[in-house]
Amino acid sequence: MAAIIVDRSLAAELVKGLSASGATSTPVIAPFTGEVLYDLPTSTPADVADAAAAARVAQLAWLRIGFAERRRILLKAHDLLLADRERLLDVLQTETGKTRGQAFEEVFQGANAARYAALSARGVLMTRHRRGGIPLVFAARVSYKAKGVIGVITPWNYPLSLALMDIVPALATGNAVVQKADNQGALTILATRRAFIDAGVPAALWAVVTGDGNDIGNAVVDAGDYVCFTGSTATGTKVGLRAMARLVGVSLELGGKNPMLVLDDVKPRQAAANAVYSCFSSMGQLCVSIERIYVERPVAEEFTAAFVDRVKSLVQGPALEYTTDIGSLTNAAQLERVTAHVEDAIAKGATLLAGGRARPDLGPYFYEPTVLTNVTSDMACFAGETFGPVVAITVVDSVDSAIADANASEFGLNASVFSRSKRRARQVADRISAGSVNINEGYRASFGSIDAPMGGMKKSGLGRRNGREGMLRFVDARTVAESTGLMTLPRTGAEFAKLAGVMEILLKTLRAIRRR
């Protein structure tokens, strides 16, 4: 069994960066061992208010330094993240139970997001001229104003990458951030934040608070000029309603029950090898992880056999090197949920092809990657998000049937299509109701495409992160329009009588020449 590798002196050093004055603390458990990693100080609503007030002051100076200096600082932070990679990986694995490789994916994604935001912000927010209402008579330009303080609420499952995918664009566009970190990911976030502070980001500009979601989460929502939330649909709905009551905008990345469609022209073994990673990366504790596979009948038997063989060959265990393929669930609640879903499905007639049991010999929260078939609508795992290492394989007789089943969900976050024909796969992708669709990949093609927006449809969320769209969340568009003086518009009834005909001719002319 792996030893706890984050010592108390490092934890004590990092938690100094918290905005937490309360006398209480919460024990944080190391998933690999079940032992207490350290005691995390708890913030109070007053701490959130104080942090937001300090962030507002810091934001004014941060905005004044301009795009070039912000870019320099954020690119330096990118470099420091990579320089401190090994320690970040240690902390991230110790808090989450991920494998080394899946922890590396987080660091890679976080650095990718930092570089993109640093280099793109100026171009995205450049003041641009727009066509006036009457050509040559009016001129207009659009500029952008930073919103101020962004409230960011992040989950435990991807603490580094999901934080930076929201926080760095907020900083790059001239804002400050007050972040509520989940207790289980706080140390990773504080270690990541330190790279930005060392690079020159003012400490008050990015405040981190911890504590109960109702008290501290609500306080962050109430303090923000815009709110980013990643987590469950139930909680995200409450966050959105609370923010909208103040007419504050939100972006919400919520739950998913993500489908994969395996078409009948695939190479079954190759598709199965790629599909397995899409289901069991980070033990399925990923909002875009695949939980449903629909495979066309001509390749179903070979694909399923190859998939199960691949699952059974995965190396599971606690290791701080690149020697395992899958790690541990992160906490006891996750283990209970996964166990309940699998036991319910088997009791109601599902067929177990692989896994289906906990592995206490490896650690307290280890559970084998599990493959089910014959999953029916009366089972908890049929429509509800398991958020764990469980996937259901269903054989279908046509692409149309697969698409209908994929779309028959209240969620619409991510989906995947496997086919040897890119043209065919794209046609299928266009018919799937999901914010992201990957072709011949499970989630990494879209998740890693920082220049493209990411978010959900239906109950999977609201708004988008990444890309131009993800940056524009954090600013208000402002129009400045002016009269050129070429002509005077009518102001009286008599003047309208003279010019109405001329203005109508102008409209018809613009329509005829297709000018906007």
Give dist(CA 81, CA 109) in Å, integer: 11
**Which residues make Cβ contacts (< 8 Å) with residue 456, sequence separation at least 6?**
252, 253, 254, 256, 411, 412, 413, 434, 435, 462
Token pair 């199960």: residue? 308
Find residue 372's DSSP bridge partners.
352, 392
HSE (side-chain half, CA atoms, 13 Å) at 411: 28
Task: Answer whether 58's CB lies under 8 Å from 33's CB.
Answer: no
Whether 287 is catalytic is yes
Decide if 147 contacts 475 (C-beta within 8 A).
yes
Q: For residue 117, give the nearest of 470, 453, 476 by alpha carbon.
A: 470
Contact 39, 47 (CB under 8 A): no
228 tagged catalytic: no
Widest Cα–Cα separation across the chain:
91
Coil vs helix vs strand at 450:
coil
CA dihedral 415, 380, 235, 105 (to 10 degrees): -40
CA 335 and chain centroid, separation: 23
Give the three-class secondary structure for 396: strand
Q: Using the structure block, give the residue that is written with the tokens 């109070």.
A: 44
Asked whether 17 and 198 are in contact (CB, 8 A), the reply is no
Q: Which of 228, 287, 296, 381 is catalytic?
A: 287
Decide: 196 and 77 in contact? Cβ < 8 Å.
yes
Compute CA distances 103 → 49, 96, 255, whole Å: 33, 9, 21
Q: Is residue 191 a contact partner of residue 16, using CB atoms and an 8 Å limit?
A: no
- Per the listing, tokens 């010592």 go with 7
Which regions of 217-330 does DSSP assign to beta strands (E)?
226-230, 249-253, 258-262, 290-296
Q: Which of 253, 291, 385, 441 is flagged as catalytic? A: 253
Residue 376 to residues 288, 351, 373, Cα–Cα distance (Å): 22, 11, 9
Query: How many C-beta neighbours within 10 Å does residue 515 have?
Result: 9
- CA angle, corner 17, sides to 15 and 23, nearest 5? 55
| DSSP structural state of residue 204 | G
State which H helix or E strand residue 417 sits in: strand 414-418
Active site residues: 253, 287
